[in-house]
Structure 1
Amino acid sequence: MNSSDGMLIVNVSAIQAVAIAAVTYYFGAWLRKKVPFLEKYSVPSPVVGGMLVALVLSCLEYFHFMKVNFDTLLQTLLMLAFFTTIGLSASLKIVTEGGKLLVS
């Protein structure tokens, strides 16, 4: 932790970032169950939690209270794994049904 211009600077390691991401995911899953709108429109749990964490961190930095710097060492690997699993979970049947709805 450092301080510059009266603002606290927190450096988060790659392992800590993964732990924060896990907590963020489970918070998003919990919140999604509590808010019917999110469940009805199938908003993914990582999006719910991630948007809230991004909003909080943005507000903290905007009001010059705290800035959080994340180590991005694992970012590329984890993003590749995430998008690969999304691609593998798609089925041709679902994609064609969704495509028909978009065209009509």
Structure 2
Amino acid sequence: MIQVKELGDYVVASLKLKEANLTEAERFKKELMEVIDQGHKKIIVDFEQVMYVDSSFLGALVSSLKYAMTLGSDIAVVHLNKDIFNLFQLIRMDKVFHIYKTLP
């Protein structure tokens, strides 16, 4: 589901799915927590291929961030399409996550 690559100080976790929904949420959370457990401090979740995201998937993302913060890590997001970006703003997740238009 996620493809991980190192990019300087960051690790990019690219989502390889079109719909980020309840069906994928638990697996995503598990895979992202494995990346966090490897000791990476700066993780960027790349939404470039994602066209739709639901609340359960966003919950898994927030849960992963809470876990990361307990280990001194941080999670940011990149390549949100317009609808997903608007959703992040609507539910104020833009105040919780750093949002990048492109990879740093």
TM-score normalised by length of structure 2 = 0.32
Determine which structure has greater relative contact order: mean sequence separation of CA pairs < 8 Å that are 6+ residues apart, divided by chain length. Answer: 1
TM-score normalised by length of structure 1 = 0.32
Select the structure that is richer in strand: 2
Select the structure that is richer in helix: 1
Q: Which has the larger radius of gyration?
A: 1
